[in-house]
Homo-oligomer: A and B are copies of this chain.
Amino acid sequence: MQPDLSTLDTFLDDHGADGYLVYADAEDSTQRYLSGFDAPDPFLTLYDGDVHLLVSSLEYGRAKKAERPATVARHADYDHMAKVEEHGFEEGTDRVFTDFLADHGVESVVTPEDFPLATADGLRDLGVSVEAEREGVVDDIRAVKTDEEVDHVKEAQKANERAMARAEELIGEATVETGTDAGSGVLVHEGEVLTSERVTREIEMELLRHGCALDETIVACGADAADPHDRGSGPLRADESIIVDIFPRDKETKYFADMTRTFVKGEPNDTVAEWYDLTQEAKEAAFDALEPGATGKDVHDAVCDVYEAAGWPTLRSDETTETGFIHSTGHGVGLDIHEGPSLSPRGDELKPGHVVTIEPGLYDPEFGGVRIEDIAVVTEDGYENFTDYPEELVVE
Contacts and interface: CB of A to CB of B under 8 A. Distances in A.
Interface stretch (A145-153, A167-175, A227-235, A388-396): A227-235
A118 interface: yes
23 contacts: A39-B229, A57-B321, A58-B228, A61-B227, A61-B322, A76-B320, A80-B319, A84-B346, A113-B117, A113-B118, A114-B116, A114-B118, A116-B117, A117-B117, A118-B132, A118-B133, A121-B132, A201-B208, A204-B208, A205-B205, A205-B208, A208-B214, A214-B214
B117 A57 contact: no
A315 B58 CA distance: 10
Given A117-B120, A205-B208, A208-B208, 17 more contacts: A40-B216, A40-B338, A57-B315, A57-B321, A59-B229, A61-B322, A62-B230, A76-B319, A76-B320, A81-B319, A89-B346, A115-B117, A117-B130, A118-B132, A205-B205, A208-B214, A213-B214
Contacts of A230: 62
Interface in A129-178: 130, 132-134
A60 interface: yes
A184 interface: no
The 7 A-B pairs at the shortest CB distance, nearest first, are namely A113-B118, A118-B132, A114-B116, A117-B132, A115-B117, A117-B120, A76-B319
